[in-house]
Structure 1
Amino acid sequence: MPVVNSYSILDFYALPEEIHVELINGRYYEMPVLGAMHQDLASYFHILIGEFVSELGIDCKIYEGSVNVMILQDDYNMFQPDLMIVTDKSILGKREVYGAPDFVLEIISDEMRRAAIDEKVECYERAGVKKLLIVDIKNRSLTVYDHDGNSYNCEQYGFVGNMDMNLLGGQVVMDLEKIGCIADEYGKFMD
């Protein structure tokens, strides 16, 4: 994909600390301050997946928010997923992850994040992220992308019932209704 603007990783690092953006294909996307609903959802997934990983005894790192990922290891992309799992510790740096995590969760709860998601999915696919989940609050859906070694296969679910998901060689059960309940708690604040 051609780079649209000339912003690079060097520009990204030169930004003041109080400026929160993701760099996607050479463009900045502002990262709005995330509210309680966003954090509640990220925490639900962190606890669920953390317990699953612990039960299976998988040696990995789980990061929730605020850790950057140089996903394509190029000069034009630096992402900040809501949750990620890294099993290959050789890609861990002091300030960020260099390469593809095994698992990424993105929660879309505002128009800014929605505007960039297609480009991010394409980058995650090119990088080889094995499992990508996108929770779209406005559309009340969860989309699961599974990488088959070449490209993504995807399935979409509503916030109804449970879903068994293969992750890191095991099965984790997600309560989709719980995700809907968390979103509903904050429904009065949505646009």
Structure 2
Amino acid sequence: MAIVTHLSQLDLNGRYSYADYLTWRLDETIELFRGKVSLISPAPSLDHQRIATRLTGILYAQFKRQACQLFAAPFDVRLYDRRKSVVANQDIFTVVQPDLCVICDTEKLDQRGCLGAPDWIIEILSKGNSKKEIQTKFELYRESGVKEYWIVYPFEQAVHQFVLDEEQDLYRLLNMFAGEDSASPYLFPDCTIDLQEVFAD
């Protein structure tokens, strides 16, 4: 398979697998959503980076002595429908780079990142990718079995907390935290996040 070094070599209307993705040596950062190429915004906003850094610090302190592990973007997560079995790289069509994710099953980790659904994903919205995070990734995370998904709204200083109802196969909105609240993940109730600190100017 030929090495791809320029985005122009790809058919942006085509469908690609993780096997294809492994042959790409692009300057651009991309994700795959059900085989479709999706460009990541080249430079997140100052607010996005500030929030990501603060959350990383808080969560690193929380998980550094636990079995569950924290990872921050760029970090490849290969997703597949949890009701299907994984056969090979050519059978995986979704590769995402969540802003933050926590993975408790170390069997999912390899040198290329994570194969399968993290337990908890946090995405911090930017003006250019809100639809992608709210709609496309929401569905991808649900069908792959991400148990808890937080969407962070920097401009509104708010966090929406979704928890997977596996029996009904849907996300339930558990909490809508405001900037002055303390927030705790459903999966890790001993972890407390001061959102005033996260959203401080």
The bucket for the TM-score relative to the shorter chain is 0.7 to 0.9
State the aligned residue count.
175
Query: How far has the Cα of 1:48 moved from its partner?
Result: 1.5
Q: Provide Cα deviations, 1:45-104, integer angstroms capped at 9, x if missing partner.
A: 1222222224xx421221111110002165321000011111111111211210011111
138-147 or 85-94, which moves further after superposition?
138-147
Give the match for residue 52 of structure 1.
62
Give the match for residue 71 of structure 1.
79
**Which residue identity does 2:130 align to in structure 1?**
R
| Helix, strand or coil at the partner of 1:165 | coil
Give the match for residue 189 of structure 1.
none
Give the match for residue 32 of structure 2.
23
Query: How far has the Cα of 1:14 moved from its partner?
Result: 2.7
Taking a change above 3 Å as real, the CA distance of residues 17 and 177 of structure 1, as seen in their structure-2 partners, is same
- Whether the aligned pair in 1 keeps the contact of 2:63 and 2:69 (CA below 8 Å) is no
Residue 12 in structure 1 maps to residue 21 in structure 2: yes
- Whether the aligned pair in 2 keeps the contact of 1:109 and 1:138 (CA below 8 Å) is no
1:1-191 matched pairs, under 5 angstroms: 5-32=14-41, 33-54=43-64, 57-72=65-80, 74-111=91-128, 113-117=129-133, 118-149=135-166, 150-154=169-173, 155-168=175-188, 170-181=189-200, 185=201
| Helix, strand or coil at the partner of 2:51 | helix
Taking a change above 3 Å as real, the CA distance of residues 165 and 62 of structure 1, as seen in their structure-2 partners, is closer
In 2, distance between residues paired with 1:87 and 1:121? 20
**Which residue identity does 1:107 align to in structure 2?**
I
Aligned-residue Cα RMSD (Å) equals: 2.1
In 2, distance between residues paired with 1:23 and 1:147? 22
Unaligned runs of 5+ in 2: 1-12, 81-85
| Helix, strand or coil at the partner of 1:153 | strand
- Whether the aligned pair in 2 keeps the contact of 1:87 and 1:101 (CA below 8 Å) is yes
- Whether the aligned pair in 1 keeps the contact of 2:151 and 2:161 (CA below 8 Å) is yes
Give the match for residue 9 of structure 2.
none
| Helix, strand or coil at the partner of 1:166 | coil
Q: Which has the larger radius of gyration?
A: 2
In 2, distance between residues paired with 1:62 and 1:164? 16
- Whether the aligned pair in 1 keeps the contact of 2:48 and 2:154 (CA below 8 Å) is no
In 1, distance between residues paired with 2:97 and 2:122? 10
**Which residue identity does 2:100 align to in structure 1?**
L
| Helix, strand or coil at the partner of 1:14 | coil
- Whether the aligned pair in 2 keeps the contact of 1:63 and 1:83 (CA below 8 Å) is yes
Taking a change above 3 Å as real, the CA distance of residues 138 and 14 of structure 1, as seen in their structure-2 partners, is farther
65-74 or 7-16, which moves further after superposition?
7-16
In 2, distance between residues paired with 1:60 and 1:164? 16
* TM-score of the two chains, using structure 2 as the length reference: 0.77
Structure number having the greater helix percentage: 1
* TM-score of the two chains, using structure 1 as the length reference: 0.81
Unaligned runs of 5+ in 1: 186-191
